[in-house]
């Protein structure tokens, strides 16, 4: 087990009695990540690019070293294929607003799955509306909760411009077969946009195995600080796309009449970036790989399965995932007759942190016939004690509601 890593997380040390089961919303940060970022501000800080002095060169080197490290982590040898953004949401908006605007025309189609986070749903819905294109929503199998591949196959046509799909549902934890999706999309000349925000904290990612056109992630869901996200784009796309924002650090030449832009990724990084965020993600990746994503996945799945088992034993708890499908720490459930927000409030009162609501995935929640769900999400720093506390909390909730 990974018990010994728990002490690396100051929030858990500084809040004794806290059972943090909301890592799918955002993970806590290990001390080493905070220290490396802090060290940057205390020793090496300066604005990057164009600085002709050592401090700025050091800052630039740290920033670009992060790019190289993240590229390696996701399985590409081309650091320039990574654009740094604020979060996964911005990465997705960037795609829709640039190449999306370029290639989607009236009558074209965009395919999304019903289990997308709003971040990979609303930008496409809005793009389709602007362009008079069609948004096709592919469902999931109601039994396995897996993406309905047959439905995707019959939805895709020669008019499909984008297939946008999560790599791991933030509500269900299910992980679509991206290799199949990618192959299918290529066959029809559609571009793929994979949302890896919820995948990459738990599963080893190697984009060279399925060759996505675009892929996004968020640092704060994988031990880095908030405010830093990544967009991977195939170099040929990035080269052909117009910039998203314009301003400093992304231009080649500005005259009163005309502006020419730098090469990617600078073309997409207007203004002073969040260097500390890049450094924190670099440190987080080192930390994650030092433990090993395999071990993390094994650990969190074991806890989720244990919780699943104990919740089933209570009765009155509706569990959406089949135990045999659990292979990460995400566990959605509901208690009959008690609204998820009341569950979460009672748990919260006991310092057990879970999320309740639509989880920014309303289309999925409605598809499942619910108003809302409770989600407990386990990560590397959780322990069996957290499972026990969750169970005690659920029992308390039933008591409060006289069930």
Partner 1 sequence: MTTQLDNMYRDLILDHYEHPRNCHELSNVNSSEEGFNPLCGDHVDINFEQKDGKITDISVCTKGCAICTASGSIMSDILKGHSVEETDRLVKEVKAYLKGERDIEISNWPPSLQALSGVRKFPIRIKCALLPWTTAELALQNQTKQK
Q: Which of residues 272-301 bind ligand PLP (CB under 6 A)?
A: 272
ω into 380 cis (within 30 of 0): no
Residue in the block written with tokens 């996701």: 74
- Residue 305 and residue 218: Cα distance in Å, rounded? 26
Where does this chain touch partner 1 (CB under 8 A) — which range of 37-45, 196-204, 281-289, 351-359?
351-359
Contact 377, 21 (CB under 8 A): yes
Where does this chain touch ligand PLP (CB under 6 A) — which range of 87-95, 122-130, 281-289, 342-350?
87-95
Q: Which of 28, 174, 198, 382 forms a contact with ligand PLP (CB under 6 A)? A: 198
Q: Which of 60, 62, 76, 170 forms a contact with ligand PLP (CB under 6 A)? A: 170
| Beta carbon of residue 341, minimum distance to ligand PLP (angstroms, whole number) | 18
Tell whether residue 251 is a contact of partner 1 (CB under 8 A): yes
Tell whether residue 197 is a contact of ligand PLP (CB under 6 A): yes
CA dihedral 331, 336, 340, 342 (to 10 degrees): -130
- Residue 201 and residue 330: Cα distance in Å, rounded? 12
C-beta of 96 vs 338, nearer to ligand PLP: 96
- Residue 111 and residue 375: Cα distance in Å, rounded? 27
Footprint of its own copies on 262-281 (CB under 8 A) = 270-277
Q: Which of 29, 67, 117, 161 forms a contact with ligand PLP (CB under 6 A)? A: 117
DSSP secondary structure, 261-311, as one string: E--TTGGG--SS--HHHHHHHHHHHHHHHHH-HHHHHHHHHHHHHHHHHHH
- Residue 285 and residue 201: Cα distance in Å, rounded? 9
Tell whether residue 394 is a contact of its own copies (CB under 8 A): no
Contacts of 154 (CB under 8 A, 6+ apart): none
Tell whether residue 208 is a contact of partner 1 (CB under 8 A): no
Footprint of its own copies on 242-261 (CB under 8 A) = 244-249, 251, 253-256, 258-259
In the list partner 1, its own copies, ligand PLP, none, the entry touching 41 (Cβ below 5 to 8 angstroms by class) is its own copies
Contact 386, 378 (CB under 8 A): yes
Contact 2, 23 (CB under 8 A): no
Is 353 one of the catalytic residues? no
Contact positions toward ligand PLP, by CB under 6 A?
87-89, 117, 119-120, 166, 170, 195, 197-198, 218, 220, 248, 271-272, 360
Q: Interface with partner 1 by CB under 8 A: which residues? A: 50-52, 57, 251-253, 262, 338-342, 345-346, 349-350, 356-358, 365, 371-372, 396, 400-402
Query: Catalytic amino acids?
Result: 360
């Amino acid at each position: 087990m990974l018990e010994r890593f728990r002490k690396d997380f100051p929030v858990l040390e500084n809040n004794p009695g806290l059972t943090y089961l909301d890592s799918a919303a955002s993970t806590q940060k290990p001390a080493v990540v905070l220290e490396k970022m802090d060290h940057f501000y205390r020793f090496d800080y300066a604005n990057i690019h164009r600085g002709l002095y050592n401090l700025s060169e050091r800052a630039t080197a740290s920033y670009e070293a992060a790019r190289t490290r993240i590229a390696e982590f996701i399985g590409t040898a081309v650091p320039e294929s990574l654009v740094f953004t604020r979060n996964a949401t911005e990465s997705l908006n960037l795609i829709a607003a640039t190449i999306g605007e370029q290639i989607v025309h009236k009558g074209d189609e965009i395919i999304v799955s019903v289990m997308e986070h709003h971040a990979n749903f609303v930008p496409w819905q809005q793009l389709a509306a602007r362009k008079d294109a069609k948004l096709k929503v592919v469902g999931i199998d109601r039994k396995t909760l897996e993406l309905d591949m047959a439905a995707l196959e019959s939805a895709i046509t020669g008019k499909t411009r984008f297939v946008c799909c999560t790599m791991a549902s933030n509500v269900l934890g299910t992980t679509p077969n991206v290799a199949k999706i990618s192959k299918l999309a290529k066959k029809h000349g559609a571009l793929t946009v994979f949302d890896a925000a919820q995948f990459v904290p738990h599963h080893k990612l190697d984009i060279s195995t399925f060759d996505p056109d675009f892929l996004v992630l968020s640092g704060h869901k994988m031990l880095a600080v908030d405010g830093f996200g990544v967009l991977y784009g195939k170099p040929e796309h990035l080269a052909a796309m117009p910039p998203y924002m314009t301003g400093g650090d992304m231009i080649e030449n500005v005259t009163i009449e005309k502006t020419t832009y730098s090469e990617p990724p600078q073309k997409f990084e207007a203004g002073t970036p969040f260097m500390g965020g890049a450094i924190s993600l670099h440190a987080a990746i080192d930390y994650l790989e030092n433990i090993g994503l395999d071990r993390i996945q094994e650990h969190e799945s074991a806890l989720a399965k244990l919780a699943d088992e104990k919740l089933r034993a209570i009765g009155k708890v509706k569990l959406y995932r089949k135990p045999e499908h659990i292979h990460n720490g995400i566990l959605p459930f509901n208690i009959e007759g008690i609204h998820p927000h009341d569950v979460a409030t009672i748990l919260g009162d006991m310092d057990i942190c879970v999320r309740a609501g639509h989880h920014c995935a309303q289309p999925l929640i409605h598809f499942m016939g619910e108003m809302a769900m409770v989600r407990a999400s386990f990560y590397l720093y959780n322990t069996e004690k957290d499972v026990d506390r969750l169970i005690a909390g659920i029992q308390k909730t039933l008591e409060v509601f006289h069930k």
